[in-house]
Amino acid sequence: MALSYGLILSDFDGTLRMSKGGISEGNVRAIKDFVTAGGVFAFCTGRMLSSIMPYAKNLGLEGLIVAYQGAVIADIASGRLLRDVRMDTEGAAQVCAYLQSLGRHIHVYDGDDVYMNRDDDFKRYYEDVCGVRGILTGEDIASFVRDKKICPQKVLAMNAAEENAAVCEKVKALFGKRYEVTSSSEFLVEATSFGCNKGEALSFLSEYYKIPREKTIAVGDNYNDIPMIRAAGLGVAVANGVEKLKEAAGFVTKTCDEDGVAYVIRKFGLGENI
């Protein structure tokens, strides 16, 4: 029997990844069952490629993987980049300079390198969660970007949770017409080239696999997932997701700690009576 949905695109942190870290056995089994049945399962994350790729390989996934909010789309087996869209050097430096004026902890992503402007608890937390090591630039990361002529895939600011929404709105107000500005967690604000969002990534994969958009599912938890939730045939929010995402979703599944992705796979992807 043909699958009702041929492509499932899932966010990672806060969605597939448990709050304590790792992917649950229930999610692993459901993903493998869906792929065995002929479906395509793919990660769509704001993480850098080198941070998310090990999880895809450990799951035995094949095909494409989406990183940097859609700025990068790569083939898992070969590492070949099918999409690599970057911010212009001067624009990225201007975003950095503005974030510096706000006193932010800043990241600049260039391929497999992530540059950071300070050595603090944010740096150590990020390195621990994402399994990467930041390259310190000093506080004036904007000048570093200009001097090195970096065209990054993404610029990010880490903020205290109570400040994050305000920082996001300020960055949107200044740069929202030039760049995609979004938030992927309660302490992250991220900027990528215009058009580099998860909705565009879903469209790319839909065309690549020749799976109609109405036969796709997208699962997420945060503001950066809204474009793909709206673009998918079925947009799903995990129960621990932000309210704005839940409002945009067609279905709310269980939390990331209750195998929410597995529930979606089995109920809609495999059509099980659960």
Q: Report the share of the chain in percent with pLDDT over 70.
A: 100
Distance CA 158, CA 124 (A): 12
Tell me what the pLDDT averaged over the chain comes to: 97
**Domain locations in the chain?**
7-84+196-269, 89-193
Q: Please give the sequence-ordered ranges of beta strands (E in DSSP) within 76-171, or none if there are none.
A: 81-84, 105-110, 113-116, 135-136, 154-158
Alpha-carbon distances of 85 from 59, 106, 195, 202, 246, rounded to whole Å: 27, 20, 9, 16, 29
How many beta carbons lie within 10 A of that of residue 97, not counting itself?
A: 16
pLDDT at 257: 98
Q: What is the pLDDT of residues 78-121, one digit of tens each?
A: 999 999 999 999 999 999 999 999 999 999 999 999 999 999 99
Distance CA 109, CA 116 (A): 9
Q: What is the pLDDT of residues 157-196, one digit of tens each?
A: 999 999 999 999 999 999 999 999 999 999 999 999 999 9
- 47 within 8 A of 12, measured Cβ to Cβ: yes
- What fold characterizes domain 89-193? 3.30.1240
Long-range interactions of 110-113: CB distance < 8 A, separation 24+: 110/150, 110/151, 110/152, 110/153, 111/49, 111/153, 112/48, 112/49, 112/50
Name the pLDDT band for 2 (thresholds 50, 70, 90). Answer: confident
The CATH architecture one would assign to domain 7-84+196-269 is: 3-Layer(aba) Sandwich (3.40)
pLDDT at 19: 95
pLDDT at 60: 96
The H or E element containing residue 94 is helix 89-101
Whether pTM > 0.85 for this model: the answer is: yes
Q: What is the pLDDT of residues 189-222, one digit of tens each?
A: 999 999 999 999 999 999 999 999 999 999 999 9
Q: What is the DSSP string of 33-69?
A: HHHHTT-EEEEB-SS-HHHHHHHHHHHT--SEEEEGG
Distance CA 198, CA 12 (A): 12
Amino acid 6 reads G
pLDDT at 1: 57
- 69 within 8 A of 13, measured Cβ to Cβ: no
